[in-house]
């Protein structure tokens, strides 16, 4: 499971942000994963890498130096089908192919979406000023091109968010309104990490009725379930300014995770995007 908040301003002027993005990865704490960094086999790409057997090479959040960004959010369901394709490759395949057309790519995914368990996918091509959303929750769904603006995504369809997503979006909007200038970057980063670490409960009656044993997941932005060793594992922030200067920050739990003695590692990568 994951959470995504972003604000996209395609007409950003000097001194302001083109993209402000904050993401949470919820996952089993013992699932083998490489933390965020540039990929050895594809050095133009950056993100974490899933090392789970049968799922190697996929990612939940990644980007390349040409301004392509992909975010995967699994949709919560009561039972998952076995022997389905890895959803993480939907992001990694997109960002590793510098020449792939975003429209053709996401429509090709829609054509084979029944080969995956339920997901939502958000793709950016900042060079083309193009953003798409797709979910295979319903067979009749088609890729949706999104306008610039502020968005929030959780583990349901975009139009049916849990209350924690709605509450998080409101906080995110307030943060962006206060700290939208590059000169506010330090305060902005602190405020975004505080949002991603929020343990306030946002109880959702509909989610509780459908998933009565998943309150830790459906009600909390930063979630934690000690018995199953599952919960929020990674906080990521991507900031891109008018000139294409990018900062990719990640806080990820140190592994092996020690319950009640959680320690976080911070990675910080800054680089220029080629958006011409």
55 pLDDT more than 80: no
State how far the Cα of 270 lies from the Cα of 276, in Å rounded to an integer.
18
Q: Which residues pair with 264 in a beta bridge?
A: 253
d(CA 128, CA 77): 34
| Dist. CA 219–CA 222, nearest whole Å | 9
Q: Which of 169, 131, 124, 166 lies closest to 147 in space, CA to CA? A: 131
> What Rg, from alpha-carbon coordinates, does the chain have?
18
Q: Is the pLDDT of residue 140 over 90?
A: no
What's the pLDDT tens digit per position in 37-50? 999 999 999 999 99
CA separation for the pair 116, 269 (Å, rounded) = 32
Residue 69: which pLDDT band, with cuts at 50, 70 and 90?
Answer: very high
For range 138-162, the mean pLDDT:
94
Q: What are 234's strand-pairing partners? A: 25, 252
Q: What are phi and psi of 186, to 5 degrees?
A: -60, -45
Asked if 203 contacts 167 with a C-beta cutoff of 8 angstroms, the reply is no
**Tell me, what CATH number does 51's domain have?**
3.60.60.10
- 120 pLDDT higher than 90: yes
Per-residue pLDDT tens over the stretch 187-232: 999 999 999 999 999 999 999 999 999 999 999 999 999 999 999 9
Report CA 183 to chain centroid distance, whole Å.
25
- Helices then strands, counting H and E runs in the chain, come out as 6, 14
Q: pTM, whole model, 2 decimals?
A: 0.97
Residue-number span of the structural domain to which 72 is assigned: 2-272
- Alpha-carbon distance of 3 to 115, in angstroms, equals 23
Average pLDDT over residues 254-276: 95
- What is the average pLDDT across 52-63? 86
Number of domains in the chain: 1
For residue 103, what are its two tokens?
A: 């429209």
Band (pLDDT 50/70/90 cuts) for residue 79 is confident
* Residues 275, 43 contacting (CB under 8 angstroms): no
Residue 276: alpha-carbon gap to chain centroid = 25
DSSP string over 15-60:
TBEEEEEEEEEEEETTS-EEEEEE-SS-TTEEEEEE-STT-TT--S
CA distance 2 to 48: 14
pLDDT band at 160 (very low <50, low <70, confident <90, very high): very high
What tokens does 149 get? 């603006």
């Amino acid at each position: 499971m994951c959470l995504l908040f972003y604000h996209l301003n395609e007409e950003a002027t000097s001194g302001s942000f083109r993209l402000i993005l904050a993401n949470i990865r919820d996952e089993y704490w013992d699932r083998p994963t490489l933390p965020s960094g540039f990929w050895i086999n594809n050095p133009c790409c950056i993100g974490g890498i899933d090392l789970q057997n049968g799922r190697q090479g996929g990612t939940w959040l990644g980007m390349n130096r040409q301004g392509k960004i992909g975010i995967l959010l699994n949709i919560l369901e009561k039972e998952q089908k076995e022997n389905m394709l890895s959803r993480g490759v939907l992001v990694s395949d997109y960002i590793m192919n510098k020449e792939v057309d975003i429209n053709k790519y996401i429509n090709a995914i829609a054509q084979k979406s029944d080969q995956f368990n339920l997901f939502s996918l958000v793709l950016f091509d900042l060079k083309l000023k193009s953003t798409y959303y797709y979910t295979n929750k319903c067979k009749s769904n088609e890729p949706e091109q999104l306008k610039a603006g502020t968005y929030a995504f959780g583990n349901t369809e975009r139009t049916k968010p849990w209350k924690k997503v709605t509450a998080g979006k409101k906080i995110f909007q307030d943060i962006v309104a206060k700290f939208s200038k590059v000169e506010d970057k330090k305060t902005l980063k602190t405020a975004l990490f505080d949002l991603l670490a929020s343990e306030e409960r946002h109880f959702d009656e509909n989610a509780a009725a459908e998933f009565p044993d998943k309150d830790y997941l459906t009600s909390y932005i930063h979630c934690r379930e000690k018995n199953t060793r599952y919960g929020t594992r990674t906080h990521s922030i991507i900031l891109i300014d008018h000139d294409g200067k990018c900062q990719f920050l990640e806080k990820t739990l140190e592994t092996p995770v020690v319950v009640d003695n959680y320690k976080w590692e911070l990675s910080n990568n800054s680089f220029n995007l080629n958006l011409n």
